Amino acid sequence: MMLRLLIAALLLVCALPGFTSEFSGIPTTPTDGDKMLDAYFARETAKVMKRTEELIENTTDWAAAQGDLRQELFEMLGLEPMPERSDLKAQVTGTTEKDGVIVENILFQSSPGLYVTANFDRPAKQDGPLPTILYVCGHGGNVIDGVSYGNKTTYQHHGTWFAKNGFTCLIIDTLGLGEIPGVHHGTHHLNRWWWNDRGYTPAGVEAWNGIRALDYLETRPEVDKEKFGLTGRSGGGAYTLWIAALDERIKCAALVAGVTSMADHVVEGCVEGHCDCMYMLNTYRWDFPLVTSLIAPRSFMILNTDKDRIFPLDGVVDVYLKTRKVYEAMNARDRIGFAAYEGPHLDTQPLRVSAFHWLERQLKGLSIRDEIADTTAPKIFTPQELKVLKSIPEDEKNSTLDETFTHCVAPNPDLADSPDNWAQQKEKIRQMLDTRVFHAWPSQKIELEAKEESQEEKDGIAFSRWSFQSQAGIRLPLFIARPAGTKLADVELIRVEALDDKDWDHLLTCYGQAFPKAFSGASLPQSNTAAYAKEKRRHAEERSAIVYLPSRGIGPTAWTTDEKEQIHIRRRFALLGQTLDSMRIWDLRRGIQAIRSIGGGETQLWLHGTGVMGGDALHVALYEENIDRLILQDLPDSYHEGPELLNVLRFAEIPQIVAMAGEGSAIEITTSKPEAWEKLQQFSRKFSWPEGRLKIQAIEKP
């Protein structure tokens, strides 16, 4: 059951400066669509977790497996290909000494224009290089009079403790809460669903900044670069996970309150309390123990409290126990640890002390019986003393990084100019669609189990309701209108309408009052008599059928209308390596298969969709044969406007998909931007498409 039924209010830890939120829902009565969706997420999560469990149980050569898995993680963090390791252009902008600690204010560029602000804490008296900690901050922004001092000032006491106890420590600000604030909440509440299309997540930026921070530390004479440790809590715990998994220079890590199981995130709804920096794009459908497995056999401890609502203890323990199996398989059982303490999701002293003790033991070779001399960590510097920048650099990219960080195809890319090049481009796009976009489609064939549930005839129209099984547990309706006295096999044309919410409302107003059996359970609005009269004339004059196909979440299977809940539903799909659009494309495919199975046979079939649903319909034509015509109304010319499909902008744009679909289907596009389709029109002429194969019709702007 989703947490909307359990939690009325919870402080959103992943907060922008000055921003707080609650888990999005208030208790409501679940609809049938809600129940179907909850069960679906539980089943899909179980599949993801089972795959991870089987991989952990059956891997016999972890050293070899880690190489392939690490490459997948780089990709899922948007770091494939890796950004160039450009000149860091590091500089010290200020130095303060207090209570035996020297803190330097550090500025470097992890990539050109991507600025990282940091504090480097070291003992005032030092004899030779020391073990060094990279500290990555959680979501603890510090804004004074409208000026951001970075979350490094909130977590400064950790760096101070390390400097007082025989370490050097670099504390780096995050993209989201640094002195140059970027964005962590693209899908959480800013509706930047194109992040998923780009394969972008701020988790990748935080990982990259951490990797480059290690590059910087290697230049410092005070640092023993053979003894790098890493720690952080909450968001910093998640970044600890990414950096330690990717960079083997980390010899010891202490992850505090930053990981739990996929079941907690998806099924129990913890995703609602987290921003996007906490997640990879889960293209390969991992559970989190696969990420932690990449740290083995290096020293690693997981720490958490027992009343942490966004990292529940049972899920944390689940991750630990599965990761421990990897350590055992690598004969490194003594290098993994676990610590829990009573309390909520807070930076409490007992957890700090446990992390300090672990890092001291592992990096200084101490015994578990050795006690740390100092268990307190006061804040001794003012935010002003720790500020790096006097002003924000004019060439900063931090605030717009989501538009450039991942490697994607250029906007409005050129189409191939020769048959050979086009064949190669198509092959690559198809392969990437299969492996990076639609990888989570059901792999096992299941029966459609199509059956008729109602049929009525009135006013010269035969109207029936059917249902079919799209995938296990997802049973969807389709509605067929045809001339009275005919069967689906008798008509000359089947026009399939891929419905969105607006289309569903129109269907109800047109047919609901006339054929109430078909819409049993729905609240029927007043009839639109003009629309119904038009349909009567159509069926009196044409031997055609119209099939209305609402995919999951639309019409009879609609779930909650709460806007925040809908956002987190979409985020849950992404955590499972899917998107709502990718699964709706699957539903449309299965619906067309059902139409063919119940009498549609080889009858000419047209598929129509509007806006984003038109984009979904477009992709159906790549996978289903004998779609004679696509009618795509107000089709987006870029995935930035939809549909939302994981990774797709890394290798393709919508005009390329239209070009592929156009080889098998006639295509009509209505658009308010006909100029955006000029390259496609040139392509169709160059490759001698038949007359009428492509039609671009301009919509007059209001």
- Got the DSSP string for 69-99? HHHHHHHHTT-SSPPP------EEEEEEEET
Q: Are 30 and 49 in contact (CB under 8 A)?
A: no
CATH architecture for segment(s) 451-698: 3-Layer(aba) Sandwich (3.40)
In the prediction, which pLDDT does 29 show?
A: 65
Q: What integer best gives the mean pLDDT of the chain?
A: 93
Mean pLDDT of 107-115: 98
- pLDDT > 90? residue 368: no
User: What does residue 93 show for φ and ψ, rounded to 5 degrees?
Assistant: -100, -5
Mean pLDDT of 438-466: 96
Q: Are 41 and 580 in contact (CB under 8 A)?
A: no
- pLDDT > 50? residue 19: no
In the prediction, which pLDDT does 373 show?
A: 79
In the prediction, which pLDDT does 702 show?
A: 61
- pLDDT > 90? residue 13: no
- Based on the number of CB atoms within 10 Å of its own CB, is 116 exposed (0-12), middle (13-18) or buried (19 or more)? buried
Q: How sure is the predictor about 21, in pLDDT bands with cuts at 50, 70 and 90?
A: very low
Q: How sure is the predictor about 370, in pLDDT bands with cuts at 50, 70 and 90?
A: confident
Distance CA 633, CA 419 (A): 29
Q: Are 3 and 268 in contact (CB under 8 A)?
A: yes
In the prediction, which pLDDT does 375 show?
A: 87
In the prediction, which pLDDT does 316 show?
A: 98
- The better pLDDT of the pair 373, 507 is held by 507
Give the 3-state secondary structure of residue 102: strand
In the prediction, which pLDDT does 574 show?
A: 98
Q: Residue 602 has which token pair?
A: 């080889």
Q: Are 251 and 227 in contact (CB under 8 A)?
A: yes
Q: How sure is the predictor about 4, in pLDDT bands with cuts at 50, 70 and 90?
A: very low
Sorted by where each begins, the domain ranges of the chain are 76-391, 451-698
- pLDDT > 70? residue 506: yes
Distance CA 434, CA 438 (A): 5
What ranges make up the beta strands (E) of 149-291? 168-172, 223-233, 250-256
Pick the CATH number of 76-391 from 3.30.590.20, 3.40.50.1820, 3.40.50.300, 1.50.10.10: 3.40.50.1820
Task: Compute the chain's Rg from CA coordinates.
Answer: 28
